[in-house]
Amino acid sequence: MPVLCLKVDVDTLRGTLEGTPRLVELFRRENVGATFLFSMGPDHTGRALKRIFRPGFLAKVRRTSVRGNYGLKTLLYGTLLPGPDIGRRGAEVMRATRDAGFECGIHCWDHVAWQDGVMHKPDAWARAQMQHAHDRFIDVFGSAAQTCGAAGWQMSRDALRAQGTLGYRYASDARADSASSGPFWPLVKAEPMPVAQIPTTLPTLDEMIGLAGCLADNVHERLLAMTAQDRRDHVFTLHAELEGMALLPVMERLIAGWREQGYELISTGQYFDRLDVNALPFCEVEWGTLAGRSGTLIKQGTPYLANLEQSLRR
């Protein structure tokens, strides 16, 4: 039976307080597993508007009804309104998510700052952001996070290195868009990184809606057609602000469709537990673009030859 992992990125305070409980209720009702990755620090969503000149950003805003999905108040956080502290105001919801049986991990400290800064700021800046999120997670949950997934799939080489100091079992920072993709050990210019990756293999709903005739009413059909044709293990990233709110009916249809296709719906942590990590391929990390998403992001590259993999493991 192929596996389909559900990974929930929680970007904002509204997504934490409103979208997350709705997804928890849905997943419990449907008896499926999922991993929730929380933003632990300030909600500065409004500052994302400075990306207005980034290629593809305005098109994405128009396609995905940003104001309707995120709400006007959220879009003012960090500009006309002070950014609320998600980790403090959302701590009760985060713990309730864990207590409901779902794996919880770290998405970031400051979502907008990470996306806009990690590839340009000094290494010490990224490490400080990661440490802030690590410390706050311990404050909220009483123990360190076992997993993480970068905001916007944005990672630098040093940020990948730093994951090894924070105790993560695995990470889900990368995207993968080839039939040979899957869990891997990342390399950057042949330098092995310390934490294995479970990449997202499917497009997100906000990347699909508004392109090639894809609407909220039929996006589930497009995605289900992909998983029907490409029957292998997959990771689907959803957002508490979208699938946990306006697109919740779409998520319900996807769960039903994937079950009909014979997929087992589990968390990325459950999936990682089943892997032989010593047998995972080494893949060079690439930075590139994906259709429907603005900016560059981290991607899984081509696996190295088996003999090189064995040499690196030694």
Q: What's the pLDDT tens digit per position in 119-161?
A: 999 999 999 999 999 999 999 999 999 999 999 999 999 999 9
Comparing 46-50, 192-196, 207-211, the range with the smallest average pLDDT is: 46-50
pLDDT band at 72 (very low <50, low <70, confident <90, very high): low
**Within-domain flag for 36:** yes
List of residues 6+ apart from 218 with CB closer than 8 A: none
Mean of pLDDT over the chain: 90
295 is a domain residue: no
Beta-bridge partners for 37: 9, 105
Range of the structural domain that residue 240 is part of = 3-172+208-276
Does some domain include residue 213? yes
Number of structural domains in the chain: 1
pLDDT computed for residue 64 by the predictor: 53
Q: Is residue 68 part of a domain?
A: yes
CATH at residue 265: 3.20.20.370
Considering the domain boundaries, does residue 133 fall inside one? yes
In a domain, residue 71? The reply is yes
Helix H segments across the chain? 13-14, 20-30, 57-64, 66-70, 72-76, 86-89, 91-99, 111-117, 123-141, 157-162, 205-208, 219-229, 248-260, 268-274, 306-313
Instruction: Look up residue 218 and give its amino acid.
Output: N
| Residue 145 is assigned to a structural domain of this protein | yes
User: Is 197 among the domain residues?
Assistant: no
CA 178 vs. chain centroid, Å, equals 18
Q: What is the pTM of this model?
A: 0.90
- DSSP-assigned letter for residue 152: G
* Separation of alpha carbons 52 and 126, rounded Å: 23
Greatest Cα-to-Cα distance within the chain, rounded to the nearest angstrom? 56
